[in-house]
Amino acid sequence: MTNDTNLNNVQEPITKASPEVRQIIERVLQLEKDKLYQKSLRNINDDILTIIKEVIQ
């Protein structure tokens, strides 16, 4: 398997997900990137829950 094939296999659940699920994934990934530079990842679970609730509504 080539690296492109491996990457496609990993991304397939995301690319085939509903728009709502993709939006949640994108927002959570951005949240995690933003928090990488903080010493403490406090409240990340609360932030993820807020994202999910916002997208579902």
pLDDT at residue 22, as a whole number: 93
d(C-alpha 49, C-alpha 20), whole Å: 14
Q: If we measure between CA atoms, which residue out of 43, 16, 15, 47 comes closest to residue 29? A: 47
Three-state DSSP class for 36? coil
Q: Could you tell me the two tokens for 19?
A: 């728009």
pLDDT in tens, 2-37: 667 777 787 888 888 899 999 999 999 999 888 888
Distance, CA of 15 to CA of 21 (rounded, Å)? 10
- Residue that the structure tokens 């010493």 belong to: 39
How high is the pLDDT of residue 48? 93
Domain ranges of the chain: 18-56
